[in-house]
Amino acid sequence: MAKMSIAEALRQAIREEMARDPRVFCLGEDIGIKGGFGGAFTVTLGLSDEFGHERILDTPISEIGIAGVAIGAAMAGLRPIADVQYGDFLFCMMDQLANQAAKMTYMSGGTVKVPMVMRAPVGATGRGAQHAQSLEAFFTHIPGLKVLAPSTAYDAKGLLKSAVRDDNPVLIFEHKLLYGSKGPRSERGALSPIGEVPDEEYLVPIGKGVIRREGTDVTIVGKLLTVYRALAAAEELAQDGIETEVIDPRTLVPLDKELILESVRKTGRLVIVEEDNLTGGWAADIAAIVAEEAFFWLDAPIKRVSAPDTPAPFAPVMEQFYVPGEERVVEAVKSLF
Amino acid sequence: MAKMSIAEALRQAIREEMARDPRVFCLGEDIGIKGGFGGAFTVTLGLSDEFGHERILDTPISEIGIAGVAIGAAMAGLRPIADVQYGDFLFCMMDQLANQAAKMTYMSGGTVKVPMVMRAPVGATGRGAQHAQSLEAFFTHIPGLKVLAPSTAYDAKGLLKSAVRDDNPVLIFEHKLLYGSKGPRSERGALSPIGEVPDEEYLVPIGKGVIRREGTDVTIVGKLLTVYRALAAAEELAQDGIETEVIDPRTLVPLDKELILESVRKTGRLVIVEEDNLTGGWAADIAAIVAEEAFFWLDAPIKRVSAPDTPAPFAPVMEQFYVPGEERVVEAVKSLF
Amino acid sequence: MSNSKTPLLDMYRTMLTIRRFEERCNYLFMQGRIPSTLHLYIGQEAVATGVCAHLRPDDYLLSTHRPHGHAIAKGVAPRAIMAELFAKSTGCCKAKGGSMHVGDVNVGMFPAIAIVGANIPIAAGVGLAARRLGTDRVAVCFFGDGAANEGAFHEGLNMAAIWDLPVVYVCENNLYAASTPFPLAFKIENVADRAAAYGMPGVVVDGNDVEAVYQVAGEAIDRARQGEGPTLIECKTYRLCGHSRSDPRTYRSQEEETAWAAKDPIPRLAERLKEKGLATDETLTAIEQEVTALIDEAVAFAEESPPPEPTDALKHVF
Amino acid sequence: MSNSKTPLLDMYRTMLTIRRFEERCNYLFMQGRIPSTLHLYIGQEAVATGVCAHLRPDDYLLSTHRPHGHAIAKGVAPRAIMAELFAKSTGCCKAKGGSMHVGDVNVGMFPAIAIVGANIPIAAGVGLAARRLGTDRVAVCFFGDGAANEGAFHEGLNMAAIWDLPVVYVCENNLYAASTPFPLAFKIENVADRAAAYGMPGVVVDGNDVEAVYQVAGEAIDRARQGEGPTLIECKTYRLCGHSRSDPRTYRSQEEETAWAAKDPIPRLAERLKEKGLATDETLTAIEQEVTALIDEAVAFAEESPPPEPTDALKHVF
Ligand SMILES: Cc1ncc(C[n+]2csc(CCOP(=O)(O)OP(=O)(O)O)c2C)c(N)n1
Ligand SMILES: Cc1ncc(C[n+]2csc(CCOP(=O)(O)OP(=O)(O)O)c2C)c(N)n1
Ligand SMILES: [Mg+2]
Ligand SMILES: [Mg+2]
């Protein structure tokens, strides 16, 4: 077992997959320049020394092109790992992801595959409205894409490796405050969970969630950063005698629905916490699933704890209000009893 | 009172607003060419004869540009009505809509306004996966945008006029099968509801829904085409003694939440019908709101009747399976009793 | 690439197959036997034919909302295209795609892409894969004049250029994007002039002259295959039909249509063949009959094929 | 536009204000008194200054992630920018925007746009409004070399060109897009060479020579104001600082940095002023003091200003 950050775990996953399969390569902005950043959050740092600039391919600032090239390369036999510097820029390549990558296999009657990975950092980190969004909900709503959201180093490595081997387009959302990027690319206010990662090779299967904490009184579903908010809230709630079950789905599409439903059937109460805006968020989908499929087990309304329906504000005091904190989770849970 | 189609009602709204306010203008592809189509569904047909080509501005095939120009023009004092030929192409301009139009007012601390309208046809009409999508859910999830979905000629006209006068970016989704476009641009299988439209000027306020049919046993919320599916289902259900209330929110953002909550408090049962894909759809948000705010009035699980999580298939037999029909609505309602 | 080796008669057969295929489509569509919408290629046959005559089955083709001609020229079976248009389970996309998405990867044609310009960066990616996998395959990407104003054009061409990718970009400038005449959307004469913005060679050619297209495309495809990078070819042409289904074409003048009808690439090639002694009227009649039989067969196949099951809609998402 | 009328001393003051403002920002940032990230403009001051010297307060400016210099040159109060960086309620965007979105519509500067290239089509729209409303206002749009590879660049420039909009596009080619050197992303010499692809004039100018920038910008702005359409100006320059906050700049060579430091536009202008007899060392020292006082005041204002209320986050969505 080695201890490492998520950025390191992702780097290791890329390194292993590239060593295993010559078809795997990375492309993106500022990912491999000598003396450069290794991507916006250091994930690819040093990899061009190992694999060369053909396989750690620096691109122009051309998001449509990055996505398009990744799609075309995947259709013709390579296995690209592309990235955007901030998730917000996925909107620049939205047509390529939503209309091309996601629909190609379907439109071809199953004869064409698009085995590509797109990595995107999300979350508000004091940079204002255009570098802050949580994009997961948009992409869970596009059939044909798989969507991952690892919150630990173990999962980040295992899921990225699975994503590279998957024959379909996979988006991986990574939270900026969880990377643990070092040096000039480190983040203020980061949580940077250092996790244990086995020395031997492993995969984390796409589509399997985990229970991060067992409990009997209420279920909290979180993802990425809010898994940690949920765990912190659970600690506090325990002091009031409320036993919280915390679920981290890890994969948003396909979703491990049964894990959530089973938990709610046990606890009778559900709170969903996400950093994204309330209206139309991913939390709504979880609520809708449970309101349909576990309705008779529910003892209380389903609560969503989300950012308000505003863009991300710049000032730290406003941003802290915007991003759901532990207290809001505690309050939401308590309102159910 | 005059009787007219939605395409005609929209055209009249544009004509009146352009006559009223010289700052209003239209831009888009193939909207004003002499001898051309008047847009993909004839909405702007003939308007360039009346207003000239400066105010019915034909653009290159440049969706980023169309949105960008509309945004810039709105920021500097005009009131553009832009359109895309098919809603699916909104993805090509997604950055402009989501990152620029929606956030400009906020980022400026309220000092800049973006009074623009973007019109987009939605719905599956036998053209395959890239000309079929229902895009509403994506845009309801972007704070800073208002989102309208008129299903009658009266609402189409009144809401478009309100949208033009609104100081914020407004998206209007129009269903291809409801336009009633004539001549070469008519649609097979269209419903084309002809509606009464007052001769005198009127506005439909943004943010107010309507009850399309009153009932006591179950609430169905639909939008655009599915309002008609819901009404047809209600007829059928009435024969089994089930009295259905059908709600058409007309405006998705801001949402007339109270109208829905009140109805559910009365009926105790809720079904939401939309043409969009199930996961992450707009229906999820309605379900989540009700599961939180009217939970104790609910007598049964909340049901969503949506398209499955696939792209739109081409073959009519598959498309009919894909788009939720009246029978699926009836079945969903009956499962609640 | 010398003219003596030019497979002119084969190209004639291909062009005629495309023409007759589409005329039949139009007829079937008008009769209501084909659903949806159609973007016909009538008048532009020399472009697809002249370009694809150089391609191997393992070369790649990326197409648009107007793909039937490209598909036939690349070797997709007309019956499989016809069955797709009929929305039958035997269609080249199993009736999942439809007219705007026909393709068959077994002959190197990916499903056509109906978002204008979106195939352009994808073609760059395909070219990248061809090179990185150590093959000498080439990717050809067709698109219209209208597509050259999409951001995807810009990003895709630039990336193909800076990485010297084995891609040939073929712009079919038929003077209109739907109803929009070229000069309304461009302040320049030629789309090919934009090649210079990417450090890529650009060539303009008469797209109604299959020999000229063949010549220019051959050079570009050779360059690409030899690792010398992409080319932008602009073929000046004209669609002798509406933009899509029942387009009345009232945005074009009668004179213009007549002038271009006189440049129809098929009679033009027929004349050349006879001039060059490569065909007689009899040869051409025989080809005509061959083509008719092929299309009759395709229609029969499509009509007899079973439709998909409604629930097939759920397959092939992943 | 003759050199005799050139407001060289005013431009010196502006350039120095930008330089000292940013040096102070950097210092405050390193001290942790400014949150978030910063993209400094140090080294490029001649561009914003030479261009904006021609602009009226009612002309428009569209900026980027690196906007402080543009803002100061356009007349946004340094104290309002500083307060924004400090995340105070008195900031030019009420602390909603931050460093990457500073602006003040009262002096014609819209909030800067941090999505690379996205301001380019928006500027076309602003120009369209200026004309349609019957004014002779001009819109200036700044962007970097990297932005010229975005689809938004392509679509925006083409639309500005075909409609002859009153827009001046100013590409600040500082040889790098973040860490990416120009030749890795372009197979051409000059971004301005792309103007031809849109039928627009393109000009290359030494962006470290404020007189040259002033000259070229003046011509383009005049053209735009007189309804003769847009221009693409490329200013060759260099940032004498990192891309953002604590960038170690290890992707650039020491020699290159040194060579460009020697071309620093501010000492260069100081020399010119003295050569021309427009200033003495004393004048320059006086300006230096003036500027320092201005910036001290801005910092004091920012520090003393109240932060926003947390719930202010909910305001200004619509
Ligand atoms: C991104 C996008 N915008 C608009 C359309 C609608 N549309 C389909 S074909 C077409 C015209 C295309 O013109 P051109 O590229 O010249 O090709 P042509 O039809 O002439 O072959 C348009 C506007 C589309 N399919 N995709
Ligand atoms: C669409 C988009 N892609 C990527 C980024 C991340 N990013 C911010 S600045 C920058 C480099 C910009 O280079 P250039 O346009 O040359 O401007 P400069 O920073 O040199 O002033 C990048 C890649 C972004 N903000 N927006
Ligand atoms: Mg065309
Ligand atoms: Mg730069």
Q: Kindly report, residue by residue over A55-66, the tens digit of the pLDDT.
A: 999 999 999 999
Domain B2-197 and domain B210-334 have a common topology: yes
Q: Residue D230 is part of a domain; what is its CATH number?
A: 3.40.50.970
Q: Quote the radius of gyration of chain B (alpha carbons, Å).
A: 19
| Peptide bond connecting A22 to the previous residue in cis, omega within 30 degrees of 0 | no
Give the CB-side neighbour count of residue B139, counting CA atoms within 13 A. Answer: 33
**Averaged pLDDT for residues C26-48:** 96
**Beta strands D60-62 and D139-144, pairing class:** parallel
Is some CB atom of chain B closer than 8 A to the CB atom of C252? yes
Distance C37 CA to ligand 4 centre (A): 46
Q: Which of C47, C116, C175 to mutate to test the pocket of ligand 1 (most atoms within 8 A of CB)?
A: C116
Looking at residue B199, the DSSP 8-state letter turns out to be S
- Please tell me which chains touch D, using 3 or more CB pairs under 8 Å as the contact test: A, B, C
Find out whether B132 and B99 touch, Cβ atoms under 8 Å: no
Residues of C in contact with D186 (CB under 8 A): 158, 162, 199
Is pLDDT of D2 > 60? no
Structure tokens belonging to residue D223: 């053209």
pLDDT of residue D4: 52
3-state SS, residue D69:
helix
Catalytic positions of A: 131
* Ligand 2 and D38: CB distance under 6 A: no
Count the neighbouring beta carbons within 10 Å of the beta carbon of residue C1.
13
CA max distance for chain B: 59
Pair of tokens at residue D75: 């007349």
Average pLDDT, chain D: 97
Q: How far apart are CA C234 and CA C193, in angstroms?
A: 9
The predicted structure's pLDDT at residue B125: 95
**Residues D236, A36: Cα–Cα separation, whole Å:** 22
For the ranges A73-87, A234-248, B182-196, D169-183, which has the lowest average pLDDT? B182-196
* pLDDT score of D3: 44
The answer to the question of residue C1 being in a domain is: no
Q: Which fold has domain A2-197?
A: Rossmann fold (3.40.50)
Q: Is the CB of C146 under 6 A from ligand 1?
A: yes
The ligand minimizing its distance to the Cα of A93 is 2
Helix (H, G, I), strand (E, B) or coil at A5: coil
* Structural domain count, chain D: 1
Measured distance CA(D117)–CA(D194) in Å, rounded: 15
Reference D49, options D38, D37, D61; nearest CA is: D61
Measuring CA to CA, which residue among C315, A186, A258 is closest to residue D245? A186
Residues of D whose CB is below 8 A from A310: 313-314, 317
What does the block give as tokens for C153?
Answer: 């054009």
Q: Within a domain: residue D147?
A: yes
List the catalytic residues of B.
Answer: 131
Ligand nearest to the CA of residue C142, numbered in listed order: 1
Q: How far is the CA of C177 from the centre of ligand 3 (A)?
A: 4
- Is residue D151 a part of any domain in this protein? yes
**C-alpha–C-alpha distance, residues A272 and A220, integer Å:** 6
- At C40, which amino acid appears? L
AA identity, residue B267: T
Please report the number of interchain residue pairs, chain A to chain D, with beta-carbon separation below 8 angstroms: 135
**Could you write out the three-class secondary structure of chain C?**
CCHHHCCHHHHHHHHHHHHHHHHHHHHHHHCCCCCCCCCCCCCCHHHHHHHHCCCCCCCEEECCCCCHHHHHHHCCCHHHHHHHHCCCCCCCCCCCCCHHHCCEHHHCECCCCCCCCCHHHHHHHHHHHHHHCCCCCCEEEEEECHHHHCHHHHHHHHHHHHCCCCEEEEEEECCEECCEEHHHHCCCCCHHHHHHHHCCCEEEEECCCHHHHHHHHHHHHHHHHCCCCCEEEEEECCCCCCCCCCCCCCCCCHHHHHHHHCCCHHHHHHHHHHHCCCCCHHHHHHHHHHHHHHHHHHHHHHHHCCCCCHHHHHCCCC
Residue in D96, D122, D155 nearest the CB of B62? D155
**CB contact D186 to C (< 8 Å):** yes
pLDDT digits (tens, 9 = 90+) for C88-124: 999 999 999 999 999 999 999 999 999 999 999 999 9
Cβ distance of C312 and B318 shorter than 8 Å: yes
| The predicted structure's pLDDT at residue C4 | 52
Listed by start position, the domains of chain A span: 2-197, 210-334
| Atom 21 of ligand 2, nearest CA residue | D144
DSSP-derived 3-state class of residue A117: strand
Cα–chain center distance at A306: 16
D145 lines ligand 2 (CB under 6 A): yes
Dmax of chain A from CA atoms? 59
Q: What string of H, E and C letters represents the secondary structure of B64-133? A: HHHHHHHHHHHHCCCEEEEECCCHHHHHHHHHHHHHHHCCHHHHCCCCCCCCCEEEEEECCCCCCHHHCC
Q: Which residue out of C37, C65, C70 has the highest number of ligand 1 atoms within 8 Å of its CB and is therefore the one to mutate?
A: C65
Q: Which residues of B touch A283 (CB under 8 A)?
A: 288
Exposed / middle / buried, residue C285 (Cβ in 10 Å: 0-12, 13-18, 19+): exposed
For B42-69, the pLDDT digits (tens) are 999 999 999 999 999 999 999 999 999 9
Q: Name residues whose C-beta falls within 8 Å of residue D269's C-beta, 6 or more positions apart in sequence.
A: D8, D11, D12, D15, D46, D210
Ligand 1 center–CA C65 separation, angstroms: 7
Distances (CA, A) of D235 to A225, B65, D157: 43, 24, 17
**Closest protein CA for atom 20 of ligand 1:** C177
C307 touches chain B (CB under 8 A): yes
Rounded to a whole number of angstroms, the distance from the CA of B53 to the nearest CA of chain C is 11
| Residue with the two structure tokens 């109208």 | B259
Atom index in ligand 1 nearest the CA of residue C116 equals 26
| The pLDDT of residue B87 is above 80 | yes
CA of A3 to the centre of ligand 3 (A): 58
User: Do residues D210 and D265 lie in contact, with contact meaning Cβ atoms separated by under 8 Å?
Assistant: yes
What CA–CA distance (Å, rounded) separates A28 from A44? Answer: 10
Contact A189, A167 (CB under 8 A): no
Q: Answer yes or no: do B311 and A89 touch at CB < 8 A.
A: no
Q: Is the pLDDT of residue D1 over 70?
A: no
CA distances from C114 to A103, B86, C97 (A): 12, 11, 10
Structure tokens at D234: 């490329």
Assigned fold of A210-334: Rossmann fold (3.40.50)
Distance separating alpha carbons of residues D75 and D85, to the nearest angstrom: 17
**Distance, CA B60 to ligand 1 centroid (Å)?**
10
Above 80 in pLDDT, residue D244?
yes
Q: Look-up: residue for tokens 């397959």?
A: C315
Q: What is the pLDDT of residues B205-258, one digit of tens each?
A: 999 999 999 999 999 999 999 999 999 999 999 999 999 999 999 999 999 999
Query: In 3D, which of A309, A130, B114 has the Cα closest to residue D101?
Result: A130
Amino acid at residue number B326:
E
Confidence of residue A184 (pLDDT cuts 50, 70, 90): confident
End-to-end CA distance of chain A: 42
Structure confidence by residue, pLDDT tens digits, A106-151: 999 999 999 999 999 999 999 999 999 999 999 999 999 999 999 9
What are the backbone angles phi and psi of residue A2, rounded to the nearest 5°?
A: -115, 150
Q: How much of chain B exceeds pLDDT 90, in percent?
A: 96
- Residue B95: what pLDDT? 98
Show the tokens assigned to C152: 């995807």
Residue C273 — very low, low, confident or very high, per pLDDT cuts 50/70/90? very high
**Protein residues within 5 Å, CB atom, of ion ligand 3:** C 144-145, 174, 177
Q: How far apart are CA D149 and CA D297, in angstroms?
A: 40
Residue C42, pLDDT > 70, answer yes
- Is the distance from CB of D179 to CB of A37 less than 8 angstroms? yes
Helix (H) or strand (E) holding B274, with range, is strand B270-277
Residues whose CB is less than 8 angstroms from the CB of residue B282 and which lie 6 or more positions away in sequence, other chains included = A280, B136, B137, B140, B223, B252, B274, B276
Residue B272: what are its φ and ψ, rounded to 5°?
-115, 130
Q: How far is CA A275 from CA A248, B249, D80, in A?
A: 14, 27, 30
Band the pLDDT of C3: cuts 50, 70, 90: very low
Distance from CA of B231 to the nearest CA of D (A): 34
Which structural domain, as residue segments, surrounds residue C234?
7-314
Top-confidence residue, A188 or C318 = C318
Identify which of B257, C37, B316, B50 has the alpha carbon closest to the alpha carbon of residue A279: B257
**Any atom of ligand 1 within 6 Å of the Cβ of C176:** yes
Q: Compute, in degrees rounded to 10, the torsion defined by CA atoms C26, C29, C35, C38.
A: 20
Please list every residue in chain B whose beta carbon sits closer than 8 Å to the beta carbon of residue A281.
141
Asked if B187 and B176 count as a contact pair (C-beta separation under 8 A), the reply is yes
Residue B14 near residue B25, CB atoms below 8 Å: no
* pLDDT number for residue B189: 79
Q: pLDDT digit string (tens) for D121-142?
A: 999 999 999 999 999 999 999 9
What percent of chain B is predicted at pLDDT more than 70? 100
Distances (CA, A) of D10 to A10, B111, D5, D70: 52, 29, 11, 15
C186 contacts on B by Cβ (under 8 Å): 60
Predicted pLDDT at B230:
98
Contacting chains of B (3 CB pairs or more, <8 Å) are: A, C, D
Residues near D258 by beta carbon (within 8 Å), at least 6 away in sequence: none
How many C-beta atoms surround the C-beta of residue C132 within 10 A? 19
Q: What is the pLDDT of residues D248-278, one digit of tens each?
A: 999 999 999 999 999 999 999 999 999 999 9
Q: What is the ipTM of this complex?
A: 0.98
Q: Is A232 a pocket residue for ligand 2 (Cβ < 6 Å)?
A: no
Q: What whole-number percentage of chain C has pLDDT above 90? A: 97
Distances (CA, A) of D249 to A60, B232, C48, D252: 19, 67, 49, 6
Are B23 and B55 in contact by the 8 Å Cβ rule? The answer is no
Q: Ligand 1: does its nearest atom lie under 6 Å from the Cβ of B61? A: yes
Is residue D103 within 8 angstroms of chain B, CB to CB?
yes
